[in-house]
Structure 1
Amino acid sequence: MSPKSILLLVSIFLFGLMASAQYTEKINTNRPGTSQGAFSVGNNVLQIEGGLGFGKEKHDIFNTKTNVFNFDYAIRYGLLIEQLEIRLNGRFRADGVTQTVGANEQKITRSDFEINTLGAKYLIYDPYKKPKKEDSTYASLKSWKEHHRFKWKTLIPAVSAYAGVNFINADNPFTFPEDQSISPIFVIAAQNNWTTNYGGDWAFVTNIIIDKVTTENPAFGLILTATHTINDTWAGFLEYQVQKSDFYSDNIMRLGGAYLFDKDLQFDANLAFNFKDTPSIWTLSFGASYRFDWHTKDEIIEQPGLEGGVTEEEVEENEDGEGEDEDSIEGEFDELNENETDSLKLGKTPFINDFEDDGFREELERDLDQRRTEERLERERIEQEKIDKKEGKKFKKEEARRLKREAKEAREAEKAALKAEKDKEKMIQDIDAELDKMEQDKGVDQELEDLDRQLKELEKMEQDLNIEEEKPKEKPEEKKKEEEIDVDAEYEQYQKEQEKTKKAEEKRRKKEEKRRLKEEKKRQKEAEKIKKNNEKDPNIDQEIEKELEDFDR
């Protein structure tokens, strides 16, 4: 197959040192590897990549065990042109180190950014943007064998250069003590894309790294990554990294895979380990990449001097082949046009520049635009159906929630009505009981008032008797004279006094009886009050008994 078809299929997944092939319809990310590919994310595209890692390290010489947590991030943006990308990336690390000294264990915690780097990458050479001249004839385009044979030019990689600046904090526990706070880094990135008849689509990326060359501890690295697309949503990768410096050297192997959730979102996971015990390392990482796609213009990256169309020799060759089946030729063009290169956004065919006139190119482009419009409308229709279906489910769910909420409110209202009815009945009963109590208390109070009134009458009668007794007595001579005058009158007077005394005694007795009844009524009323108080507070029984005893006394 042509290089266009190779890069279209491989563009589904480019991660782990497979950077984006300029602009593609689906996200292309460096994750989950640690290198970068030759291509950028595309002009006016912002891409955010990040992940969390958990692992352990064990150093046999230092006799230490370390629990590792790290967070790595990358922010990439295609600036001005398709070939240029700026990038900010870094990694934060937190360690818990356990060191055994004799019979004692010491625990140390450390945390800081291992590195923060700001730089730019530019695509220097792209072998996929123009086919060879001999491959641009009608004969080669019509031949199935020519389309599917192995092309040696695919061994020539796309090449880009990256230059950046490292920033580290002072007293960083994860870097060489003499490292400068600011240092340069340079990377040469090469990328090959292949499609095989049996193995599917592959991409191979190579990074050569020169880091911190201005410091006393320069570092050099090599990263090799192979990526294989399994289907439209799954891909796997294998990576080998070599790093060499006076501060730290290691060989690390990584393997993992990724899942394409949609055209702008990808999830990934990978496992990393090394081959030594000073220290031994293994790390499990999970991450995601998301793209903000503001790319609006289709662009073709053409080699300078090739924008003029076909040559006269190609025109003569084309005139010799006018009798061939035009439908077959158009079918071959359609097959080629369905494939895209890393050098352009879907929708352009730079291959035509070298062997066809501008009129035929314009006709093909119009045909491609029409087909793309139909495909876009179909995609929009499918997306709208999904949205309508989702909205329908959401509406049904909201309706079910509303009915459930209304039923719940109706039950609560019914319960509230029953409770209000019960409260009303209880209130009526309490009012009736209070009225009965008031009537009972009123009856007792009336009896007490009657007793008071009778006592007042008796007291008045007693006062009258006392007044009569206090009247001045008659002189003895006059009494004797009266006795001598009328014995019968004396006897009558004696009877009157006896009767008066008898009445006074009877009044006194009645008064004492009424006073006793009054006190008895009061005592009963007091006892009822005490009984009610006992029902409310049984702890005051002793006080009530004491009051009753005092009252009896």
Structure 2
Amino acid sequence: MDFPSFKKALLLFCFIPMCGMAQYTDVINSNRPGRAVSAYAVGKNVVQAEIGLVYEQQDNADLNTDSNIFGTDIALRYGLLFETLEVVYEGSFISQNITFTQLGTEERRTDFSRNRLGLKFLIFDPFKDPEKNKPNLYSWRANNVFQLKNLVPAVSIYGGATFTLGDNPFYPGDGTVTPRVGVATQSRLSPRFVLISNVAYDRIGTDFPEWSYAMSLSHSFRDPKWSVFVEGQGFSGDRYSDILLRSGVAYLINEDFQADFHLGSGFKNDPSRIFAVLGMSYRLDFHKDKLIPIEDQKAVQGGKIKKNSAKKKRKKKKKGKKDKVDF
């Protein structure tokens, strides 16, 4: 994909409003399947592993090569310090067997195609205030159809580094540690549809910096254990440019364990890419709810209990005075 095309795609992305704090959920919050990452963190003191087994067929018409790739994707996430922050490691270790069809020779390349560590911090959550997001008790339709306000997304920012260790055959000449920054958004379009968008700038300061973006739409069925997704991911750089399309399914085995499978392909011939990924996500949940003093909790009517109690006391006092006068 040439850079002008990428700019058009990026402009389209920016027209989607980039507008939860990360909310701990009783059910695992996984970035799988796919590569687009959620705006939300896993929750304080939650440890989560997301692993995938990858097979890819990659052919390059320009170089007259055919190759098979076997690999493992892994993401390790930990809710650090507070609900809105997580530290995340993302890695892909692959072995690529390349056949040079004209020469009749073979070559194997084995190393990390992705190896990075960073922090993700939620800066805006449209669902932070429960008073503004209470369900409509009088209209099923109002709670289940798309509304314009649903486009307002949660937004998180990412800062980290990509590590290129040793003589990596996939990234020759890159520095050992290079910065990476990004933005992730997440919109709940309806109770069953979620839209996630990412933009990132990677390998900053090298001869081959890289822009990437991803947009993922997921849908859960009436049986909430099953969900499907479709995702587009693009890359733009002097070393590699392409658009990838993925689609797959996820199944929630229990509240801490999810399995998934997806297929994908690219749109270019230099190289062409077709891949399949089988994965799982599992968390160790050490999260503890923060205890809020009763005087700081919201009453059913939206007022503070402390104020309501004081108001009742004043009423009783006035009533007592009135009774004395009548007597």
Q: TM-score, normalised by structure 2?
A: 0.80
Cα distance between partner residues in 1 of 2:88 and 2:140: 42
1:54 aligns with 2:55: yes
Partner secondary structure for residue 101 of structure 2: strand
Aligned partner of 2:303 among 356, 369, 374: 356
Letter in 1 for 2:61: D
Q: 1:279 to 1:146 in 2, by over 3 A?
A: closer
Q: 1:355 to 1:132 in 2, by over 3 A?
A: closer
| Structural mapping, 1:70-89, within 5 Å | 70-89=71-90
Q: 1:20 to 1:240 in 2, by over 3 A?
A: farther
Letter in 1 for 2:287: H
Equivalent residue number for residue 177 of structure 2: 182
Letter in 2 for 1:229: S
Q: 1:361 to 1:157 in 2, by over 3 A?
A: farther
- Answer yes or no: is the 8 Å Cα contact 2:71–2:94 preserved in 1: yes
Equivalent residue number for residue 383 of structure 1: none
Letter in 2 for 1:84: L
1:244 aligns with 2:236: yes
Equivalent residue number for residue 116 of structure 2: 117
- Answer yes or no: is the 8 Å Cα contact 1:119–1:162 preserved in 2: yes
1:225 aligns with 2:221: no
Equivalent residue number for residue 161 of structure 1: 157
Letter in 2 for 1:165: A
- Answer yes or no: is the 8 Å Cα contact 1:225–1:237 preserved in 2: yes
Deviations 1:145-176 (A, max 9, x none): 7953754322111000011111112321111x
Equivalent residue number for residue 213 of structure 1: 204
1:293 aligns with 2:285: yes
Letter in 1 for 2:152: I
Which protein is richer in helix relative to its size? Answer: 1
Deviations 1:466-491 (A, max 9, x none): xxxxxxxxxxxxxxxxxxxxxxxxxx
| Structural mapping, 1:514-553, within 5 Å | none
| Structural mapping, 1:316-335, within 5 Å | none
1:264 aligns with 2:256: yes
Aligned partner of 1:201 among 182, 192, 201: 192
Cα distance between partner residues in 2 of 1:361 and 1:97: 74
- Which segment drifts farther, 239-248 or 123-132? 123-132
Q: 1:281 to 1:361 in 2, by over 3 A?
A: farther
Letter in 2 for 1:113: F
**1:272 offset after TM fit, Å?**
1.3
Cα distance between partner residues in 2 of 1:253 and 1:223: 10
- Answer yes or no: is the 8 Å Cα contact 1:308–1:353 preserved in 2: no
Cα distance between partner residues in 1 of 2:117 and 2:199: 18
**1:233 offset after TM fit, Å?**
1.2
Which protein is richer in strand relative to its size? Answer: 2
Cα distance between partner residues in 2 of 1:150 and 1:35: 22
Q: TM-score, normalised by structure 1?
A: 0.49
**1:23 offset after TM fit, Å?**
1.0
Cα distance between partner residues in 1 of 2:177 and 2:165: 9
Partner secondary structure for residue 104 of structure 2: strand
Cα distance between partner residues in 2 of 1:98 and 1:269: 28
Q: Which has the larger radius of gyration?
A: 1
Q: 1:66 to 1:145 in 2, by over 3 A?
A: closer
- Answer yes or no: is the 8 Å Cα contact 2:178–2:203 preserved in 1: yes
What is the number of residues matched between the two proteins?
287
Deviations 1:278-298 (A, max 9, x none): 111001110111100011224
Cα distance between partner residues in 2 of 1:62 and 1:216: 22
Deviations 1:39-94 (A, max 9, x none): 00001100011111011111111111001111111110001100010011111010
**1:361 offset after TM fit, Å?**
9.4
Structure 1: which 5+ residue stretches go unaligned?
1-18, 301-306, 310-348, 363-553
Cα distance between partner residues in 2 of 1:147 and 1:251: 36
Partner secondary structure for residue 28 of structure 2: coil
Letter in 2 for 1:87: V
**1:357 offset after TM fit, Å?**
3.4
Q: 1:145 to 1:232 in 2, by over 3 A?
A: closer
Letter in 1 for 2:181: F
Cα distance between partner residues in 2 of 1:361 and 1:157: 35
Structure 2: which 5+ residue stretches go unaligned?
1-19, 310-327
